[in-house]
Amino acid sequence: MAEPTTTRPDFARIDAQRLPELLRVMPKAELHMHIEGSLEPELIFALARRNGVDVPYADVEELRKAYAFTDLQSFLDIYYAGASVLLREQDFYDMAWAYLERAAADNVVHTEMFFDPQTHTARGVSMQTVIDGLHRACVDAREQLGVSALLILCFLRHLSEREAFETLEQALPLRDKFIGVGLDSSELGHPPEKFARVFARCRELGLRLVAHAGEEGPPAYVWSALDVLKVERIDHGVRSVQDPELMERLARDRIPLTVCPLSNLKLCVFAQLSEHNLGALLDAGLVATVNSDDPAYFGGYVNQNFTETFAAIGLQAQHAWQLAANSFEGSFIDDVAKRAYRDRLDQVFASF
Ligand code: HPA
Ligand code: ZN
C-alpha cells in the first residue's frame, strides 16, 4: 500500500486563472444529492409520455419557469410533483443513470445518493421497484463509468415516525442494496428527535446515519441530530455558525457538513452567493464539502456549485484541495479506498 501522504500540494504554483479547470478535473466525492432532484424537465416529460402520466405544465420551458422558490417548502411541493412520473423499475434506472453520467463528466469518482421511497410507495410503487432500479444503475456505473455509487434511504420528516418504521420494514429485505438512512423534507417543526427510535433501530442494524439539519432549522436541530439520532454527517448544517460551541464540537469530532451552495441560494438560505459561509466553515476547521442537492432544480451539478461559489466568495486552490479531500474523508467507503482516492487527488494537484 502507498505510504500516507502528509505533505500538501504546492498551491502557490497554481495560477488563479486556471482555477475553474482545476475544479473541473480534480477527483471528488458527492455526498449530498437527492436522486429525485436530478430529474431534468426533459426527462420528466419523456417519462410522463412513456407512462401516460399527466404533467400540469404545457412544456419544458413552462415547467422550468416554475422553478422560482422562496423557501424549502415551495421547492418541495414541485419536487414531489415531478417525481410522480416515476412508476417502473426502468424509470428509476434511467433517472439514476442520467445523473451518474453527469457526475462522471464532473469527475465525481464516488457518490452517495439519497432516495425518498415514501414519495413513491405512497403512489403504489413498490419498494423493490424503486431500490432495484436505482441499484442496477449503481452497479452499471461502477463497470461502465468507473464511478462508485451507494444509496442512502431518506425518511420524510413531515410524515410520522410510525411511517418511517413501516418504510424501514419494507426496505429491510433489500438491506444489501443501501448503506444507510437519512432524514429530509420540511425541516422546521420536524426536529430530529421525532425520529429517535427509528434511528436507534437503524443503528442497531448497522446502517450508516445522516440527517438534514441546520438548513432552515436552528443549531438546536444539529445538536439533536448528533446527540439524539447519533448521525455521522450533517446535511447542510450551515446555520451551525450561529452557535460557537456547536462549531467547536463539529470541528473537534470531525463531523462532515455536506454543504450545497446553489441550493442555499435558490431556497433563500442566503440572499446572495457572495454571502455564503462556506469559507467561514473551512476557516473554522470543519470538514465541509460541496454538493449539488437537487441539481435539476437548483441550477447546476457539482462542478457548477464549485465554480460559482469559488468565484462568488473568492476561494482558491488550497480550498479546492481541502474540499475534495474532505469529500473522501467524509464518505462511507473504507479507509483503503479513501487513501486511494486521496492519492489520486494529490497526483492531480501535483501534475496540474
Ligand atoms: N432539504 C430537505 N429536503 C430535501 C431537500 C433539501 O434541500 N432536497 C430534497 N429534499
Ligand atoms: Zn438535501
Ligand 1 pocket member 91 (CB < 6 A): no
Closest-CA residue, ligand 1 atom 4, reads: 185
Q: What pLDDT is attached to residue 6?
A: 58
Q: CA-CA distance, 195 to 167, in Å (whole number)? A: 13
Kindly state the cell numbers that stand for 264: 442555499
In a domain, 245, yes or no: yes
Ligand 1, atom 7, residue with closest C-alpha: 293
Q: What is the dihedral of CA 75, 290, 178, 339, to 10 degrees?
A: 180
4 lies in some domain = no
Looking at the domain assignment, is residue 6 inside a domain?
no
Per-residue pLDDT, 34: 98
Q: What is the pLDDT of residue 2?
A: 45
Find out whether the beta carbon of 119 lies less than 6 Å from any atom of ligand 1: no
CA quadruple 305, 311, 317, 320: dihedral, nearest 10: -20
289 domain residue, yes or no: yes
Domain range holding 66?
16-351
Q: Candidates 38, 72, 80, 187: which one to mutate for ligand 1, based on the most atoms within 8 Å of Cβ?
A: 72
Cell numbers at 50, concatenated: 412513456
Dihedrals phi, psi of 252, to nearest 5 degrees: -60, -45
Structural domain includes residue 178: yes
The total of structural domains in the chain comes to: 1
Q: How far is the CA of 139 from the centre of ligand 2 (A)?
A: 23
Span from the CA of 27 to the centroid of ligand 2 (angstroms): 22
Q: What are the pLDDT tens digits along the chain (352 aa)? A: 444 555 788 998 999 999 999 999 999 999 999 999 999 999 999 999 999 999 999 999 999 999 999 999 999 999 999 999 999 999 999 999 999 999 999 999 999 999 999 999 999 999 999 999 999 999 999 999 999 999 999 999 999 999 999 999 999 999 999 999 999 999 999 999 999 999 999 999 999 999 999 999 999 999 999 999 999 999 999 999 999 999 999 999 999 999 999 999 999 999 999 999 999 999 999 999 999 999 999 999 999 999 999 999 999 999 999 999 999 999 999 999 999 999 999 999 999 9
Domain-embedded: residue 300: yes
Nearest CA to ligand 1 atom 2: 185
**CA-to-CA distance for 47 and 68, rounded, in angstroms?**
23
Cell numbers at 273, concatenated: 452567493
Please tell me the predicted confidence (pLDDT) of residue 3. 46
Beta bridge partners of 111: 30, 149
Distance 268 CA to ligand 2 centre (A): 14
Going by their DSSP bridges, the two strands 108-115 and 257-259 should be labelled as: unpaired
Cite the active site residues: 215
| Contact in structure between 269 and 257 (CB atoms under 8 Å) | no
Backbone angles phi, psi at 87, to 5 degrees: -125, -40
Q: Is the CB of 215 under 6 A from ligand 1?
A: yes
For residue 92, which of 129, 125, 59 has the smallest C-alpha distance? 129
Q: Which ligand lies nearest the alpha carbon of 186?
A: 1
Question: Is 95 a member of any domain?
Answer: yes
Q: Is the CB of residue 164 below 6 angstroms from any atom belonging to ligand 1? A: no
Residue at 75 is within a domain: yes
- Looking up residue 282, the CATH number of its domain turns out to be 3.20.20.140
Could you please report the per-residue DSSP string of 109-142? EEEEEEE-HHHHHTTT--HHHHHHHHHHHHHHHH
